């Protein structure tokens, strides 16, 4: 059954791989599943056809036969549940890997997303410049806790899992701020994730997609 995901027609990051289709591409590459990409423009995202697939008018989405999913966490959990390689066989190890997926999305990504809010959505507010250091300090606090837990381990809990895939994807979003360099263990962890052949393929695919010449039609 063919898999179709959606991605920005042109990612605002110009192909740096920070849009959330990259993490879905990465999971599909780890699972060895071929997929197609349907580009969606910012305006099409808010129209009924896309809203029928994604209630909040966003990307990524995932279609496989009559299964339609949204939310990168749910999509990656689905891929990891259906194919070997992203979740351990042992039930307790599996539960812990899933815990790290939730931790990435619920405890680490929210403070990181505040950078975008303060810089763009609130950038014109008189208090925005004062707020930014507070936001960065909250991120530092969370990253120092994560770094302490990771320690010198290669991955968060034994072998690489969907928990690491999600955590590395979330941490990559701090890259434009440079904050990751303050946490050498986390920077090395992210570099290990980026070095995985499946990540390399996913990154190259989104880069090619975001830098392709628009068709003449
Ligand atoms: N929690 C959602 C967030 C989805 C999301 O924010 N997608 C962004 C792209 S990475 C988007 O579509 N932004 C455009 C918009 O919200 O209008 C997920 O993890 O999939």
The full set of domain ranges for the chain reads 3-85+199-211, 91-196
Specify the DSSP class assigned to residue 172. H
Ranges of H-type helices in the chain: 21-30, 42-45, 48-51, 72-82, 91-103, 109-116, 128-150, 162-172, 184-195, 197-211
Supply the pLDDT for residue 213.
76
- Please state which CATH number belongs to domain 91-196: 1.20.1050.10
Q: How far apart are CA 138 and CA 3, in angstroms?
A: 38
- Asked if residue 72 has its Cβ within 6 Å of ligand 1, the reply is yes
Q: How far apart are CA 105 and CA 128, in angstroms?
A: 25
Supply the pLDDT for residue 215.
64
pLDDT tens sequence for the chain (217 residues): 799 999 999 999 999 999 999 999 999 999 999 999 999 999 999 999 999 999 999 999 999 999 999 999 999 999 999 999 999 999 999 999 999 999 999 999 999 999 999 988 999 999 999 999 999 999 999 999 999 999 999 999 999 999 999 999 999 999 989 999 999 999 999 999 999 999 999 999 999 999 997 765 5
Indicate the top mutation candidate among 24, 58, 77, 121 to test ligand 1's pocket, ranked by most ligand atoms within 8 A of CB.
Answer: 58
What is the second-level CATH architecture of the domain 3-85+199-211? 3-Layer(aba) Sandwich (3.40)
């Amino acid at each position: 059954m063919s898999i179709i995901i959606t991605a920005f027609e042109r990612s605002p990051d110009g192909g740096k791989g920070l849009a959330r289709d990259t993490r879905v591409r990465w999971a599909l590459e780890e699972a060895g599943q071929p997929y197609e990409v349907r580009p969606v423009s910012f305006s099409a995202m808010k129209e009924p056809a896309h809203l029928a697939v994604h209630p909040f008018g966003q990307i990524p989405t995932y279609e496989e036969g009559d299964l339609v999913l949204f939310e990168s966490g749910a999509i990656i959990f689905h891929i990891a549940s259906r194919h070997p390689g992203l979740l351990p066989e042992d039930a307790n190890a599996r539960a812990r890997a899933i815990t790290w997926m939730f931790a990435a999305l619920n405890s680490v990504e929210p403070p990181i997303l505040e950078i975008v809010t303060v810089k763009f959505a609130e950038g014109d507010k008189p208090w925005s410049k004062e707020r930014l250091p507070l936001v960065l300090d909250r991120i530092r606090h969370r990253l120092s806790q994560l770094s302490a837990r990771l320690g010198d381990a290669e991955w968060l809990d034994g072998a690489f899992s969907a928990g690491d895939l999600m955590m590395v994807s979330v941490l990559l979003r701090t890259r434009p701020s440079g904050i990751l360099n303050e946490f050498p263990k986390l920077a090395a962890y992210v570099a290990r994730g980026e070095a995985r052949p499946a990540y390399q393929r996913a990154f190259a695919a989104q880069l090619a997609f975001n830098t392709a010449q628009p068709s003449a039609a």
